[in-house]
Amino acid sequence: MKQRLVIGNWKMNGSLADNILWATHFRHGLKSQTLQDVEVAVCPPFPYLQSIRSILPDIVQLGAQDVSSECIGAFTGEISVNMLKELQCRYVIVGHSERRARMGERDADIAEKFKLVSLAGLTPVLCVGETEQERAHGQTRSVISHQIQTVIDRCGAHALRNAVIAYEPVWAIGTGVSAELADIQSTHAVIRAQLSDNGLDADDVTLLYGGSLKPGNSEEIFSLPNVDGGLIGGASLKAADFLDICWAAQTRPPEPEMKSTNNVRYQDF
Ligand SMILES: O=C(CO)COP(=O)(O)O
């Protein structure tokens, strides 16, 4: 079975002190049991990348929440892919719906970012998903298909090999209401069909679900045959919750007593 991937996207949350505490708790929590068949990554805010890297064990990968579509030069406030590489990022999120909506990022900008990330040898995490309105108009498939096709047309299908696509229905993000299992399953199947129409194998691309994924629903979502893991926002902000999601992603589940249902396990740290 394919290794699952669990990525925490902290967005613009926490102070330096909070995030250092999170990483310290997570490191201690990981010691309680070896994670099997799961790759874990966290995407802290840019200024904290280096501090978090220095605390987390090497088995936890670092990711960035965004990247510039330019390589170098007079682009005030931008962060290049080479800078992310220097900071030991392995994953780079591109096209998150919050950036599409609030920063006006278009599919073409996102495809450019995707290209730079893959050329740099890092792994792009392409976020796709429909808004509430698009869903109500029955446009889910066409929206997602366009988001993916723009990247394929700009970068070539081969660029998606070993890449990650995260299906994040916009209406499920931060709402506490995740998509129905059947909808996740069918949308992921549609994405896989599009990838295969473009000459890719089903296993070439890691397909994540994101949107109100939490300890209470992660096990059933990860059990869907087309889901290779999750991209987690709110529930990644508590180390204990994120750890529980990581345990749930294991293909061989942990012993029941190793699972945490609250933060008690961390009181000593
Ligand atoms: O946007 C997300 C991850 O990128 C999902 O956020 P939530 O898990 O808070 O719904």
249 and 207 Cβ atoms separated by less than 8 Å: no
Helix, strand, coil % (nearest 5) of the chain? 45, 15, 40
For residues 197-201, average pLDDT: 95
| Residue 232 beta carbon below 6 angstroms from any ligand 1 atom | yes
176 and 167 Cβ atoms separated by less than 8 Å: no
- CATH T-level assignment (fold) for domain 4-266: TIM Barrel (3.20.20)
| Residue 95 beta carbon below 6 angstroms from any ligand 1 atom | no
223 and 249 Cβ atoms separated by less than 8 Å: no
96 is catalytic: yes
Q: What is the pLDDT of residues 88-146, one digit of tens each?
A: 999 999 999 999 999 999 999 999 999 999 999 999 999 999 999 999 999 999 999 99
Q: Which of 25, 96, 98, 112 is catalytic?
A: 96
Q: Is 233 annotated as a binding residue?
A: yes
Angle at 245 between CA 40 and CA 163, to 5 degrees: 40
What are the boundaries of each domain within the chain?
4-266
Q: How confident is the model at residue 254 (pLDDT cuts 50, 70, 90)?
A: low
| Residue 210 beta carbon below 6 angstroms from any ligand 1 atom | yes
168 is catalytic: yes
